[in-house]
Amino acid sequence: MPRSATMRGRYAPSPTGDLHVGNARTALVAWLAARAAGGSFVLRVEDLDPPRVVAGAEEQTIDDLRWLGLDWDEGPDVGGPHSPYRQSERSRLYRQALRTLGAAGRIYACTCSRSELRGLLSAPHGPGTEGPPYPGTCRDKGIPVEIDVDADARVRRPSLRFRVAEHERVKFRDAVAGDVEQDVSADVGDFIVRRSDGLFTYQLAATVDDVAMGINQVVRGADLLHSTPRQILVLKVLKAAVPEYGHVPLVLSSSGDRLAKRTRPVSIRQLRFGGFAPERVVGAMAHALGLVDRAAPVAARDLVDTFRWKKIGTEPWTLSRDAFSM
């Protein structure tokens, strides 16, 4: 696939808590990939779900990323030509995208509740984390589609689903995982693009923002690898170019669990106030990724010239107690 003259990468954190080591490692790879290609780097805040947003988390994340030695050309704190850089301020673009999807006959309204779906669905979970494939209960009911509504958790409206064609398969090549193929209809089914409370989903908002901001390199965690085929389907209906993808292996706790903010994993803030230098943290993450041969302090800027995607393995990193001791 032809690439734009200038690579445009991004990192898009959610301000739902402290920046943990797993997310920081993904940010490091995203930054290195953009800088190594001589491209631009964008910081975008994914704050679509107000109840989950933690006051001060955005500012803390920005401070932690800068402490690690990362910078960006566009973002909520520096501005740029594609502002605003907070998703909560970009609803107009998501509504425009829904109109395009609607005109193409690819969205429909769904009144199924989560409890109703649990009663209907008993198949094993697919490759994603959102449950078994949707059976298409509301697909042909002809429920009116409303697009110009405001988010309100107190009002339950029909959700909007993207209509996936039968046996609709998506293939793409990932910079880490290699060739990926998914039958979206069998593995996921018709997926939600706007929730019943009026909030736009990650599958829609992240895709629309990447198009609007000219992002042609998407780097994120491996847990989102199976979201990519859905986003590619949306891109095709929007007649937008498909970016390059790189999904970074996850960081696991010492017990083997995926790091998640709800479990209070090791955060960059903890390491900072625990007396660790940023070079030591970056060095440990770079070594775990395979970007350097040994665990030794290194500045992020000193990794740019030697960054190569082929160095990054596919196995997750199990975080030990002495991971940052050098």
> Are the CB atoms for 240 and 230 separated by under 8 Å?
no
Question: Annotated catalytic residue: which of 236, 261, 310, 311?
Answer: 261
Spatial distance between the Cα atoms of 158 and 57, rounded to a whole number of angstroms = 31
Cα dihedral angle (21, 22, 23, 27), rounded to 10 degrees? Answer: 90
Q: Are 19 and 59 in contact (CB under 8 A)?
A: no
* Cα gap 29→23, rounded to integer Å: 10
Beta bridge partners of 203: none
Residue 261 is a catalytic residue = yes
Q: For residue 263, give the 3-state DSSP assignment.
A: helix
Q: How is 150-193 classified by DSSP, letter by letter?
A: ---TTS---EEEE-PPTT-EEEEEETTTEEEEEEHHHHT-SEEE
What are the distances in angstroms from CA 51 to CA 54, 84, 87, 115? Answer: 8, 21, 14, 21
**Any idea which residues carry the catalytic annotation?**
261
